[in-house]
Amino acid sequence: MVELDDIRRAAARLQGQVLDTPCVESRTLSQLTGARIFLKFENLQFTASFKERGACNKLTQLVDSTGSRPGVVAMSAGNHAQGVAYHAQRLGLRAVIVMPRFTPGVKIERTRGFGAEVVLHGDTLDEARAHALELAAAQGLTFVHPYDDEAIIAGQGTVGLEMLQAVPELDTLVIAVGGGGLIAGIATAARALKPGIEIVGVQTARFPAMFNAIKGTHHPQGLSSIAEGIAVGTPGAITREAVARLVDDLLLVDEADIEQAIVMLLEIEKTLVEGAGAAGLAALLRHPQRFQGRTVGLVLCGGNIDPLLLAAIIERGMVRAGRLARIRVSARDVPGSLARITAVVGEAGANIDEVHHQRAFTTLSVQNVDIELVIQTRGRDHLAAVLGALVAAGFQCEEQK
């Protein structure tokens, strides 16, 4: 069982090796959610994730206990891989990392960039773990588990120490949960330092393994998630016991909640997070009454996201906000109609991204045409004003969902 003293000793080992990241209030997010929100910027670590805390604590102890430089093997979808690879390189250890085939390319390349040998195997973390254990046995490597290891948990718990040192008035912590290493460590530290604090875990509805294990539910597991860092099919044994004992509640969030949170953090805080890093804020957006009036600490636990995925999330976020919209305008198929439509849209202050004439696939009379426009607006109210201007100009129009 990990205890507060283990976490304090881990903090001493990590001093000067990882960042004591900022934990600061977001006044804008606080206003939007009705809770006082403090953000712990673990995405500012060198490997852009909290995972290097546990990895550094584990590898440092391996070196200190043996006096040698043992090789290590780990399985990870990316962030644990980078943490192990970076600190293994720093300590002069051979590192072999087994990653599922779905792992984003940015995480694979960064892991290789730290000198690790990357092996792509399986479609899930469970399949990658099984192969990593085979390699450990065959090559005499020490297996470094991403979450179900006391040294790893103690290292992650230093996040909780730092948060309560920086903001002692925190009364609620909302933590992303995959295998449970982060929340187990933070909960151990926080419960010892401030027994009355509320600790809430968040999982994506597509990977509710810890939620099912603790609550006895049977929510089905999906095949993929934009929060791949917490897309864990089987929670750890050590972490499950810690969550059952120390965590007050677990919540599920949808993919759309996570997408919205990523966009909000990018726009409001000018900070880039991956899906797992946005899970805490996603829970506040989905369950605002649950946290009303509370002083909440959120961990932005990772910032490694594929650029193409980020671009798609931003575009979808603009659509949800009404800032990017597709409208259909019906008009007489005569010269000048398109010019009139675009003039009305321009005068209403919207910008046109795309224009498409539809003559064949329409129920209109043969003399009419459907014109589809993709437009940029300032939001829902502005979009409504643009549609109103088109109607006032004599056109039939509607937003296309």
Q: What is the CATH number of the domain that holds 310?
A: 3.40.50.1100
Residue 91 Cα distances to 94, 113, 115, 238, 256, angstroms: 9, 15, 12, 27, 41
373: pLDDT strictly greater than 80: yes
134 inside domain: yes
CA–CA distance, 336 with 357 (Å, rounded to integer): 14
Q: Are residues 306 and 355 in the same domain?
A: no
pLDDT in tens, 148-192: 999 999 999 999 999 999 999 999 999 999 999 999 999 999 999
Mean pLDDT of all residues in 225-242: 91
Summarize the confidence of residues 289-317 as an average pLDDT.
Answer: 94
Mean per-residue pLDDT, 45-68: 89
In a domain, 133, yes or no: yes
Are 338 and 259 members of one domain? no
One domain, residues 42 and 161: yes
Number of domains observed in the structure of the chain: 3
Are 256 and 112 in the same domain? no
Alpha helices (H) in 294-367, listed in sequence order:
307-320, 337-347
State the CATH number of the domain containing residue 352: 3.30.70.260
Give 367 or 16, the one with higher predicted confidence: 16
Domain containing 105 equals 51-143
DSSP class of residue 389?
H
| 387 in the same domain as 362 | yes
Please name which of 227, 200, 190 lies closest in space to residue 290, comparing C-alpha atoms. 200
Q: What are the backbone angles phi and psi of residue 328, rounded to the nearest 5°?
A: -115, 125
pLDDT at 223: 84
Mean predicted lDDT score pLDDT of the chain:
92
Please write the tens of the pLDDT for every residue from 123-151. Answer: 877 788 899 999 999 999 999 999 999 99
Residues 122 and 103 in one domain: yes
Residue appearing with tokens 């459907």: 370
Q: 191 and 206 share a domain?
A: yes
C-alpha span between 130 and 75 (Å, rounded): 9
Q: What tens digit of pLDDT does each residue of 20-41 get?
A: 999 999 999 999 999 999 999 9
What pLDDT was estimated at residue 107?
A: 76
What's the one-letter identity of residue 204?
Answer: T
Burial of 295 (0-12, 13-18, 19+ CB in 10 A): middle
Give tens-digit pLDDT for 325-347.
999 998 888 888 889 999 999 99
Residue 58, pLDDT > 80, answer yes
